[in-house]
Amino acid sequence: MFVDSHCHLDRLSEHTHGGDIAATLNAARAANVSQFLAISVTLEDMPGLAAIAREHSDVAISAGLHPLHTPVQEPLASDIQEAAEQYGAIAIGETGLDYHYQESVPVAVQHERFKQHLIAARELELPVIVHTREAKEDTLALLREHSDPRVGGVLHCFTEDLDMAREAVRLGFYISLSGIITFNNAASLRELARQLPLDRLLVETDSPYLAPVPYRGKPNEPAWVVEVAECIAKARGISVDEVAMQTTANFFQLFKAAVPDAPAHVKQALAQSGLVSSR
């Protein structure tokens, strides 16, 4: 079984099962994807995400503001905490730093916003979902200063270097790989997937974006997280079943608030594996 640890279910393309969330999730379930984390990119998304989670017990949600979005008013840590508690989020984010498009949101604003999310995550003892692009040193510096290594988080859709990944792991974070790892020009990511400990990896789609090979050019969907796991398995020379079980266990180790609501067969399988407690 697989987990899509990062998807945007409220932003599905009309070309993805006609924009039908239930049909999209059913297609993923048929591919043995058993859990989904639907990610917030603005706090205004929260009511819609919460409605999806209420309708689908295998969907959990996060609370946060993407580093490249411009809100009417910048949220304080207290605003982020309030949204997370009100709507039952199991994580804070996505947040972080993106210097590739820094002209859209000034660096100073991104830093303060990231800091507020990290404070909220620390206060609520929830993992933080980090978007980082071309901002290695500043991302790590803010994580060192403001994150809680006992709670940690994940650097999602990771495309930076192995040194950054190893330092993030040292700080208590997981590394999540997306469909980018299947691209022809992503040899360095495949090497990273081979060298990092398997018990620190997650898989994701970031759907509807970044569809993996052989679906490039199409709107991405959660079912295709299997392609990511298969690519990691090939890079490491192990079975896809091993990647599936370990990354699923990793997800529930990190996002502990998701465990009570996980499907019964998921909890049973994890308990039998000895990787995650059934409690």
Average pLDDT, consecutive stretches of 10 residues, N- to C-terminus, the chain (279 residues): 97 91 98 98 97 97 97 96 98 97 89 98 98 97 96 97 98 98 98 98 98 96 98 98 97 93 74 57
Going from the N-terminus, what domains does the chain have, and what CATH number goes with each? 152-253+262-279 (3.20.20.140)
Q: CA–CA distance from 270 to each of 4, 34, 178, 191 (Å)?
A: 16, 12, 23, 28
pLDDT at 277: 44
Q: CA–CA distance from 265 to each of 52, 259, 262 (Å)?
A: 21, 12, 8
Q: Which of 165, 124, 167 is nearest to 148 (CA)?
A: 124
pLDDT at 261: 75
pLDDT at 276: 56
Give the Cα separation of 247 and 249 in Å (integer).
Answer: 5
Q: What is the pTM of this model?
A: 0.95
DSSP class of residue 39 equals: P
Give the Cα separation of 277 and 269 in Å (integer).
Answer: 10
Residue pointed to by tokens 């290695």: 136
